[in-house]
Amino acid sequence: MQYEEVLAKQWDLVIIGAGPGGMGAALYASRADLATLVVEKQYAGGLIMLTHEVENYPCIDKASGMDLGMKLEQQCRKFGTEFLLKEVRRVDRSGAGFAVTLADGKSVSTATVVIASGSAPRRLPCPGEQEFYGKGVSYCATCDGAFFRDKEVVVVGGGESAFQEGLFLTQFASKVTLVHRREGFRATELAIRRARANAKWHEKLNYVVEEIYGDETMQGVKLKHAQTGEIEDFPCDGIFGFIGYDPASASVSHLVETDEEGYVVGDLNMRTSVHGIWVAGDILKGAKKQMVISAGNGATAAMDIREYLAERD
Ligand SMILES: Cc1cc2nc3c(=O)[nH]c(=O)nc-3n(C[C@H](O)[C@H](O)[C@H](O)COP(=O)(O)OP(=O)(O)OC[C@H]3O[C@@H](n4cnc5c(N)ncnc54)[C@H](O)[C@@H]3O)c2cc1C
């Protein structure tokens, strides 16, 4: 569909974000014959495209995140979902529905909206992060791991991503050191056990990254002991941050209820505080951030939207 046609059409629903949440909604909505537009600012697939391997999606033994993301997009297109590669800047009420304003100032008109814009990796809060971003600092092992063949890298965080992605990095790096601010982890026992069984895996617990330094490229980090405050020089070639995520709710936070961090409040049917707007996936307040849950949220929202539109008509 040409861009002008997308702008001229009256959509049943516009979905913000083409991650598993958005595409879960799109699949159910377009299969129910609703005029469905997914607006995505980067690429279809969302965060799952950053992971090398998914082995906890029901009925899929093992697949790369990229493969799953691409298959989901194809499946949505098969049932008539339209995709638009643009950033959503703002959503406003317009008549009985909504106007979704895009980065170029143009807007699309829709009866309902699904917010499925997920969250973005939190940047490491220390001097040198910006300077060495892309020159040693990364947030995606799948994208950048191969640049660190036979090099030494640091992985920051204590959750599932830090362990899973850190273990993936051992395929390339000669040494992977996990730096975490305390001794307890949020990661599962399985992920911890697998990482610790690898000879290239090392840990520095009770440390925070104080600074990233180098010249043309990164040369190392300064680590600060969380209790004693002692600073230690730690030479390394790269650093991967997995310290959490910030919700991408800027385009809707003036309209729907969010919590203090910016996560969107939704009920069991994924309805938000605004009649006609639903939420799905990682951006939902209190969500367990997993692909199967996001896709399920999207399906729930689409089914509820179908009933809502049928009653309205
Ligand atoms: C390293 C890593 C490993 C993971 N491993 C697993 C795993 O093994 N199993 C599992 O189940 N889950 C895993 N996850 C979690 C899983 O990726 C997420 O739970 C899932 O992707 C969330 O889907 P979502 O659609 O809610 O959000 P996202 O996947 O974040 O998608 C949101 C989309 O919205 C887009 N967007 C944001 N703002 C706008 C805007 N203003 N306009 C237009 N588009 C916008 C973004 O570009 C993005 O494509 C992993 C995550 C990471 C980071």
Mean pLDDT by 10 residues, the chain (313 residues): 97 98 98 98 92 88 94 98 98 97 98 96 95 93 91 97 95 98 95 97 97 96 97 97 94 97 97 98 93 97 98 86
Contact 17, 281 (CB under 8 A): yes
Work out the burial of residue 63: count CB atoms within 10 Å of its CB; fewer than 13 is exposed, 13-18 middle, 19 or more buried: middle
- Catalytic residue numbers read 140, 143-144
Nearest by Cα to 19 from 79, 66, 78, 89: 66
Upper half-sphere CA count for residue 223 (Cβ side, 13 Å) = 24
Specify the residue with its C-alpha closest to ligand 1, atom 13. 290
Token pair 């069984």 in the structure block, residue: 197
C-alpha span between 210 and 222 (Å, rounded) = 5
Question: CA geometry: angle at 78 spanning 77 and 83, to 5°?
Answer: 10
Pocket of ligand 1 (CB under 6 A): 16-22, 39-42, 46-48, 50-51, 54, 56-57, 87-88, 116-119, 161, 165, 248, 251, 281-283, 289-292, 294
Long-range interactions of 284-287: CB distance < 8 A, separation 24+: 285/258, 285/259, 287/263
CATH number of 137-241: 3.50.50.60
Q: Which CATH class is domain 3-121+245-312?
A: alpha beta
**Gyration radius from the chain CA atoms:** 21
38, 40, 48, best to mutate for ligand 1 pocket (most atoms within 8 Å of CB): 48
Q: What is the pLDDT of residue 207?
A: 97
The pTM of the full predicted model, rounded to 2 decimals, is: 0.86
Q: What is the pLDDT of residue 20?
A: 98
Upper half-sphere CA count for residue 226 (Cβ side, 13 Å) = 10
249, 254, 291, best to mutate for ligand 1 pocket (most atoms within 8 Å of CB): 291
Which regions of the chain carry the CATH code 3.50.50.60?
3-121+245-312, 137-241
Contact 38, 22 (CB under 8 A): yes
In angstroms, what is the span from residue 235 Cα to ligand 1's centroid?
32
In angstroms, what is the span from residue 278 Cα to ligand 1's centroid?
17
Encoding tokens for residue 77? Answer: 């297109």
Q: What is the pLDDT of residue 50?
A: 82
C-alpha span between 16 and 19 (Å, rounded) = 9
In angstroms, what is the span from residue 57 Cα to ligand 1's centroid?
14
Q: What is the pLDDT of residue 18?
A: 98
In angstroms, what is the span from residue 67 Cα to ligand 1's centroid?
14
Range list of β-strands (E), the chain: 10-16, 36-40, 82-85, 88-94, 97-102, 107-115, 119-121, 137-138, 152-156, 175-180, 201-205, 207-214, 218-225, 231-235, 238-241, 245-247, 277-279
43, 47, 113, 300, best to mutate for ligand 1 pocket (most atoms within 8 Å of CB): 47
Phi, psi dihedrals of residue 51, rounded to the nearest 5°: -105, 140
What residues pair up with 152 in beta bridges, in sequence order? Answer: 175
| DSSP three-state, residue 127 | coil
